[in-house]
């Protein structure tokens, strides 16, 4: 088997987002294989490099439950140049974190997602200026309405940053929704999207197909978009957001392909 731990640091960290980010090393190794492919065995689909099964940084077989996801991983590896750059392989980083980190600690990751619901981004509203408050309401109220109608969960709103305690039954409803996804790959993807957006409610709406990935990303950045319309764009902030958006889109793809 082909061990990738020299290029992708250990993903045993139970936080899928931190584990995925840890896979971006500045020192790039030379590409050591010619072809990346997929092999099926016992209902699982394995990434192969020159015919040998690849391993995660934790030395487990790099295997996923769906052929489409395995083929997407193979595309990432096939698309590398003379060097292997983990920063350009977000699907592989997320899958590594799912196999090495989430699979053995899935309950911890679910707990963390529920904690996000206790202080979800879309429950904290601006009192002024009025245009921002309206933009937040137009974007976020439909998501809260979907959560209410689909999961029978009503969330309290707060103005500004004053913490508001959410009803126990609302948090229980979020836990039930998250736990419907039993795959560590789906849970890892949900966690990455939630961490990047600051909202498990936006993430759940996207995962259910209520909103697409672009709409979900935009919904998480209503405040930033408003400020940029007033003050203009900050180049460095925009570049950082592009990287985060790429990871969000990759997590969305992992979630969809892992089903």
| CATH number of the structural domain spanning residue 13 | 3.30.2180.10
Q: Are residues 132 and 228 in the same domain?
A: yes
Answer with the residue of higher pLDDT: 25 or 239. Answer: 239
The pLDDT value recorded for residue 249 is 98
Q: Are residues 121 and 179 in the same domain?
A: yes
Averaged pLDDT score across all residues of the chain: 92
Domain boundary, last residue among 70, 102, 134: 102
The pLDDT value recorded for residue 22 is 63
pLDDT in tens, 78-116: 999 999 999 999 999 999 999 999 999 999 999 999 999
Half-sphere exposure of 248 (CA within 13 A, CB side): 28
Q: Are residues 115 and 237 in the same domain?
A: yes
Q: Answer yes or no: is pLDDT of 24 > 60.
A: no
Q: Are residues 214 and 121 in the same domain?
A: yes
pLDDT in tens, 163-185: 999 999 999 999 999 999 889 99
* Count of domains observed in the chain: 2
The pLDDT value recorded for residue 213 is 98
Q: Are residues 164 and 87 in the same domain?
A: no
Residue 109 tokens read as 């990751």
Q: Answer yes or no: is pLDDT of 33 > 90.
A: yes
**Per-residue burial over 176-209, b = 16 or more CB atoms within 10 Å of its CB, e = otherwise:** ebbeebebbbbbbbbbbbbbbbbbbbbbbbbbee
Answer with the residue of higher pLDDT: 9 or 212. Answer: 212
Query: How open is the CA angle 22-93-213, to the nearest 5 degrees?
Result: 115
Asked whether 99 and 46 are in contact (CB, 8 A), the reply is: no
Q: Are residues 43 and 65 in the same domain?
A: yes
The pLDDT value recorded for residue 235 is 80
Q: Are residues 144 and 207 in the same domain?
A: yes
Asked whether 86 and 7 are in contact (CB, 8 A), the reply is: yes
* CATH assignment at residue 204: 1.10.3580.10
Asked whether 77 and 92 are in contact (CB, 8 A), the reply is: yes
Cβ partners under 8 Å of residue 188, min gap 6: 16, 94, 95, 97, 98, 101, 102, 109, 251, 254
Q: What is the model's pTM?
A: 0.88
Q: Answer yes or no: is pLDDT of 221 > 60.
A: yes
Q: Domain of residue 172: give its range.
A: 106-258
Q: Are residues 131 and 88 in the same domain?
A: no
Instruction: Tell me how far CA of residue 209 lies from CA of 66, 77, 177, 200, 205, in angstroms.
Output: 19, 29, 14, 14, 6
Q: Are residues 114 and 58 in the same domain?
A: no
């Amino acid at each position: 088997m082909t061990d990738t731990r020299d290029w992708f640091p250990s993903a045993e960290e139970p936080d899928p987002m931190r584990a995925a980010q840890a896979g971006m090393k500045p020192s790039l190794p030379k590409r050591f294989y010619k072809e990346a492919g997929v092999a099926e065995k016992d209902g699982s689909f394995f990434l192969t490099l020159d015919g040998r099964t690849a391993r995660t940084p934790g030395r487990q077989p790099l295997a996923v439950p769906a052929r489409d996801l395995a083929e997407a991983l193979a595309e990432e590896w096939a698309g590398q140049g003379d060097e292997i750059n983990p920063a350009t392989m977000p699907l592989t980083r997320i899958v590594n974190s799912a196999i090495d980190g989430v699979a053995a600690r899935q309950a911890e990751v679910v707990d963390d997602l529920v904690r996000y619901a206790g202080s979800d981004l879309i429950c904290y509203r601006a009192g002024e200026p009025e245009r921002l408050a309206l933009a937040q309401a137009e974007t976020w109220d439909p998501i809260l309405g979907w959560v209410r109608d689909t999961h029978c969960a009503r969330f309290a709103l707060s103005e500004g940053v004053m913490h508001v305690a959410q009803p126990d039954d609302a948090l229980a409803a979020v836990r039930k929704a998250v736990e419907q996804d039993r795959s560590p790959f789906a849970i890892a993807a949900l966690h990455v999207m939630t961490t990047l957006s600051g909202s498990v409610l936006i993430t759940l709406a996207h995962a259910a197909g209520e909103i697409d990935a672009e709409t979900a990303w935009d919904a998480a950045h209503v405040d930033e978009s408003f400020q940029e319309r007033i003050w203009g764009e900050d180049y460095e902030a925009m570049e950082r957001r592009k990287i985060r958006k790429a990871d969000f889109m990759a997590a969305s793809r992992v979630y969809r392909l892992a089903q």
